[in-house]
Amino acid sequence: MRTFESLRAEVLELFTRLSDIAAARGAEEAARRLAAGKQRLLDERLVVVVCGEFKRGKSTLLNALLGDRGLFPVDAFYATRVITTAAYGHPKPSPSP
Ligand SMILES: Nc1nc2c(ncn2[C@@H]2O[C@H](COP(=O)(O)OP(=O)(O)OP(=O)(O)O)[C@@H](O)[C@H]2O)c(=O)[nH]1
Ligand SMILES: [Mg+2]
């Protein structure tokens, strides 16, 4: 069975091959984007984009996936008006009594 690590290694190899092709063709923008994508994979950051029309349940879906019903505001009227990112972080320590 293919593991995440083996898939990751395969994709990193593809980045190298594609970057060589982009460089050979002088495709600078493609090379820049490939380098950025490769770096994200090396950093072990997976970026998932959720986009859609207004009021289609994006925030509701994200709250369900992240297990926090109060994380993104959900409303029948416009609730999320700006591009918003969520990232994992260590919880703040509780204030000492
Ligand atoms: N029937 C139904 N309603 C849903 C579903 N998911 C969300 N809703 C409702 O649809 C409305 C909009 O949900 P949101 O999660 O705020 O949608 P959104 O796409 O994040 O909205 P904006 O960020 O403001 O564009 C809310 O009233 C939700 O309760 C669903 O799967 N089924
Ligand atoms: Mg929203």
Dump pLDDT digits (tens) for 23-74: 999 999 999 999 999 998 898 877 889 999 989 999 999 999 989 999 999 9
Percentage helix, strand, coil for the chain under 3-state DSSP, each rounded to 5 = 45, 0, 55
Which of 55, 62, 68, 82 maximizes ligand 1 atoms within 8 Å of its Cβ, making it the mutation to test the pocket?
A: 55
Domain map (residue ranges) of the chain = 4-42, 48-80
Alpha-carbon distance of 79 to 77, in angstroms, equals 6
Q: Predicted confidence band at 87 (pLDDT cuts at 50, 70, 90)? A: confident
Task: Tell me which of 50, 60, 80 to substitute to probe ligand 1's pocket, judged by most ligand atoms within 8 Å of the beta carbon.
Answer: 60
